[in-house]
Amino acid sequence: MIAKLVTHGKDRSEAIARMARALGEMEIDGIDTTIPYHREILSHPEFLAGRIDTRFVERNKSGNGKAAGHDQAETR
């Protein structure tokens, strides 16, 4: 891990919005990141509704072990 991003807000919705904005503005050069996967999670209906558990990631990844809908990690 090269960085940890934490956000907060007056409620869960505000914290999620702040995290989405922060991930959209984050720039990391020279390596692959999991930013696209985290952005996908933040917009997932189950996550937004608070219906998540320890198997959320397992249920929402493609057969290659990466986030469903993402062919590769983003390099910025």
pLDDT (tens digit per residue) in 35-67: 999 999 999 999 999 999 999 988 887 544 455
Is residue 15 pLDDT above 50, yes or no? yes
Does the global pTM surpass 0.75? no
Q: How far is CA 18 from the centre of its chain?
A: 12
CA distances 36 to 9, 11, 67, 74, 76, Å, are 22, 24, 8, 6, 11
DSSP symbol at 74 = E
